[in-house]
């Protein structure tokens, strides 16, 4: 096939990539966006919780909201739970959310193709796609997850990762809190129960070296919650995946004459403690789109300005979370160590 030239090529059509593609298209630049998934958002690899303020960034968010969250309940080992009131958020139908954002990108004029992935990026900045196309973009936006091909091409690789496993189970009683389970028996992560109407997402994350423990950890948590009559025995769905927990990478670089920008998980924007990343993906995707357009317009400072904006918005929170994570991993944690490592407790926020 002949070479296809385009202003911007977006790798990935999750929240970061879809928002980036929409932003570029709205500014009048040509944009091709691809994602290896056959259907936007499928399979879901996410606990599906977002803070309430994301509604300021995503129009028509209610189309994908399945229930509201009002508070957070944290269980530390076998202690009585600690309840944090006024912790507002939403449980999403993540597949519907992603499809909505891709729809916005298409409506804005982006050329979005599902079921197509990037196979390799050449030393000249040409991207070879799985459908045989060769794309020569002015800018590549890497929104292709924690093991980003775009990130690898510029030497920015997420090396600290967490493995997750999640099941969906029936929820026996209406619930408006996210339940968090902290224990030394869940190394490098935590367990969760996130309600979503008449079902709930129940899962855990651990450091990769303990991946073999994930299935029994989730099974034990499931059995405990069944004994409380909180959830049912039937497993309605199962998923899992990787979460980057190393903090912010350098989100820009060059391959020959092609500028590369990273967004979302590819840029390491997921919180190293909570694993939350949807809001950061949406925000960084839009910023990356604007930086790409500015770059095409000749602004040589745009990539560095983009990096500075990400650091201004996310840097302090990511640094604190990474510091808490490293400190927890350095010892066999007791209950107070676990509390200091979690956002619901005031000691987490101290210097």
Nearest to 65 by CA among 102, 95, 39, 90: 90
Asked whether residue 114 carries a pLDDT value surpassing 60, the answer given is yes
User: Residues 5-50: pLDDT tens digits?
Assistant: 999 999 999 999 999 999 999 999 999 999 999 999 888 888 889 8
Grade residue 63 by pLDDT with cuts at 50, 70 and 90.
Answer: confident
**Residue showing tokens 């916005």:** 104
> What is residue 291's predicted lDDT score, i.e. its pLDDT?
98
Ordered by where they begin, the domains of the chain are 3-66+89-159+246-326 (3.50.50.60), 161-244+331-349 (3.30.9.10)
Asked whether residue 89 carries a pLDDT value surpassing 60, the answer given is yes
Grade residue 1 by pLDDT with cuts at 50, 70 and 90.
Answer: low
**Mean confidence (pLDDT) of the chain:** 95
Residue environment code for 2-20, b if the CB has 16+ CB neighbours within 10 A, otherwise e: eeeebbbbbbbbbbbbbbb
Give mean pLDDT, residues 187-192.
96
Asked whether residue 59 carries a pLDDT value surpassing 90, the answer given is no
pTM (2 d.p.): 0.95
Residues of the chain with pLDDT > 70: what percent? 98
Grade residue 190 by pLDDT with cuts at 50, 70 and 90.
Answer: very high
User: Residues 219-271: pLDDT tens digits?
Assistant: 999 999 999 999 999 999 999 999 999 999 999 999 999 999 999 999 999 99
Asked whether residue 76 carries a pLDDT value surpassing 70, the answer given is yes
CA dist., res. 96 & res. 125, Å (int): 33
What CA–CA distances, in Å, run from 172 to 5, 24, 230?
54, 45, 5
Which pairs count as long-range contacts for 147-151, CB under 8 Å and 24+ apart, including other chains?
147/242, 148/11, 148/12, 148/262, 148/265, 148/266, 149/11, 149/118, 149/120, 149/121, 150/11, 150/118, 150/121, 150/260, 150/262, 150/266, 151/249, 151/262, 151/266, 151/267
164: left (phi over 0), alpha (psi -120 to 50) or beta: beta
> What is residue 351's predicted lDDT score, i.e. its pLDDT?
64
- Which helix (H) or strand (E) segment is 75 a member of? strand 71-76
């Amino acid at each position: 096939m002949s070479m296809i030239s385009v202003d911007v090529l977006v790798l990935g059509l999750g929240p970061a990539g879809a928002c980036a593609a929409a932003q570029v298209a709205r500014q009048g630049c040509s944009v091709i966006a691809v994602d290896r998934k056959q259907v936007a958002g499928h399979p879901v690899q996410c606990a599906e919780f977002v803070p309430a303020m994301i509604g300021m960034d995503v129009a028509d968010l209610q189309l994908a909201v399945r229930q509201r969250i009002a508070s957070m309940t944290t269980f530390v080992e076998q202690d009585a739970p600690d309840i944090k009131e006024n912790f507002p958020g939403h449980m999403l139908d993540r597949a519907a959310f992603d499809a909505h954002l891709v729809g916005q990108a298409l409506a804005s004029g982006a050329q979005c193709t599902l079921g197509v992935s990037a196979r390799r990026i050449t030393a000249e900045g040409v991207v070879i796609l799985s459908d045989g196309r060769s794309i020569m973009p002015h800018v590549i936006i890497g929104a292709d997850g924690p093991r980003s091909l775009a990130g690898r091409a510029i030497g920015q690789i997420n090396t600290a990762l967490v493995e997750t496993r999640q099941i969906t189970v029936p929820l026996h009683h209406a619930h408006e809190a996210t339940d968090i389970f902290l224990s030394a028996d869940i190394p490098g992560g935590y367990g969760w129960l996130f309600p979503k109407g008449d079902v709930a997402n129940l899962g855990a994350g651990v450091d990769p070296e303990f991946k073999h423990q994930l299935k029994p950890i989730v099974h034990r948590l499931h059995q405990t919650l069944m004994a409380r009559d909180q959830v049912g025995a039937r497993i309605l769905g199962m998923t899992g995946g990787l979460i980057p927990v190393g903090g912010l990478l350098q989100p820009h670089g060059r391959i020959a004459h092609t500028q590369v920008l990273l967004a979302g998980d590819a840029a390491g924007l997921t919180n190293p403690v909570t694993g939350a990343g949807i809001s950061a993906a949406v925000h960084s995707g839009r910023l990356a789109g604007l930086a790409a357009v500015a770059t095409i317009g000749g602004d040589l400072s745009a990539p560095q300005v983009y990096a500075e904006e990400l650091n201004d918005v996310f840097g302090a929170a990511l640094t604190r979370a990474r510091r808490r994570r490293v400190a927890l991993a350095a010892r066999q944690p007791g209950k107070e160590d676990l509390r200091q490592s979690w956002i619901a407790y005031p000691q987490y926020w101290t210097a």
